[in-house]
């Protein structure tokens, strides 16, 4: 049984709801990678069809209602948009990810935790940046990248390394995080032949895109 008191959610910092959205954001992209690479899901099984459909549902709800849900949380009111996002964060995304599996976004999250400054950020915030890196790593369509960056910017999820506390970019440190990512058991779900150089390039590209969009805004 999953029991959620909406009053607890609206009385907590909106940052937690947003971080939850960052974690839920990963489900579609990691699930897609697992399917493409015939990786097994979190239970060691093949992806059930409904879990794949659920991961798309999670993404659609975030894009459609994420911003409204955050606003409701900030003003401490319960609205249908907030209820939809609470349901996605606490239930639907959980069922979806267990059914589909994890890949680069979580592997990059794990790699980035090598950098001490990142420890001040919540799991979902780091995962959201991992999703942006995963888009580069998987050569996603530019249109899709725009949609995901736009979502992150609208709800306030990090799109640059500076927003994860890494204000002064150090090539060696970030490369060490990329190396640790490659050793992560989830990374092969993204592809069998991904190197530390590939991951490093994805991290740097995701950060550059985040910065370029901010400069334009
Ligand atoms: Zn997670």
pLDDT < 50: residue spans in the chain: none
pLDDT (0 to 100) of residue 1:
87
pTM value surpassing 0.95? yes
Considering only CA atoms, which of 36, 41, 27, 25 is closest in space to residue 191? 36
pLDDT (0 to 100) of residue 42:
83
Distance 136 CA to ligand 1 centre (A): 19
- Encode 64-88: b = buried (16+ Cβ within 10 Å), e = exposed: ebbbbbbebbeeeeebebbbbbbeb
Distance 23 CA to ligand 1 centre (A): 5
pLDDT (0 to 100) of residue 43:
87
For the record, the structure tokens of 167 come out as 């204000």
For the record, the structure tokens of 112 come out as 């980035």
3-state SS assignment for residue 37? coil
Residue 119 bears catalytic tag: no
Among candidate residues 5, 106, 139, 189, the one labeled active-site is: 106
pLDDT (0 to 100) of residue 125:
98
For the record, the structure tokens of 16 come out as 């937690």
d(CA 159, CA 211): 8
Among candidate residues 23, 184, 198, 207, the one labeled active-site is: 23
Q: Which CATH architecture has domain 13-216?
A: Up-down Bundle (1.20)
Considering only CA atoms, which of 56, 84, 55 is closest in space to residue 68? 84
Q: For 109, how many CA atoms within 13 A lie in the half-sphere containing its CB?
A: 23
Distance 195 CA to ligand 1 centre (A): 23
Residue 189 bears catalytic tag: no
Distance 22 CA to ligand 1 centre (A): 8
DSSP structure string for 135-200: HHHTT--HHHHHHHHHHHHHHT---SSGGGT--S--HHHHHHHHHHHHTSTTGGGT-TT--HHHHH
pLDDT (0 to 100) of residue 217:
86
N-to-C CA span, the chain: 44
User: Do 72 and 81 touch, CB atoms closer than 8 A?
Assistant: yes
d(CA 15, CA 34): 29
Distance 154 CA to ligand 1 centre (A): 20
d(CA 115, CA 129): 14
């Amino acid at each position: 049984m999953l029991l959620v008191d909406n009053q607890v959610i609206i009385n907590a910092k909106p940052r937690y709801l947003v971080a939850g959205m960052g974690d839920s954001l990963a489900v579609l992209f990691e699930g897609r990678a697992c399917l493409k690479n015939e990786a097994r899901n979190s239970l060691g099984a093949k992806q059930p069809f409904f879990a794949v459909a659920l991961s798309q549902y999670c993404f659609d709800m975030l894009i459609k209602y994420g911003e409204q849900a955050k606003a409701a949380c900030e003003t401490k009111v319960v609205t249908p948009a907030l209820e939809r996002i609470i349901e996605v964060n606490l239930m639907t995304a959980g069922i979806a990810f267990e059914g589909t599996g994890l890949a680069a976004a979580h592997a990059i999250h794990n790699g980035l935790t090598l950098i001490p400054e990142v420890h001040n950020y919540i799991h979902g915030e780091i995962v959201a940046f991992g999703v942006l890196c995963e888009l580069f790593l998987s050569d996603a369509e530019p249109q899709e990248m725009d949609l995901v960056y736009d979502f992150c910017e609208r709800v306030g999820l990090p799109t640059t390394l500076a927003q994860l506390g890494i204000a002064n970019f150090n090539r060696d440190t970030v490369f060490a995080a990329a190396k640790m990512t490659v050793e992560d058991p989830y990374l092969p779900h993204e592809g069998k032949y991904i190197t530390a150089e590939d991951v490093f390039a994805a991290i740097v590209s995701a950060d550059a895109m985040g910065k370029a969009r901010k400069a334009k805004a």
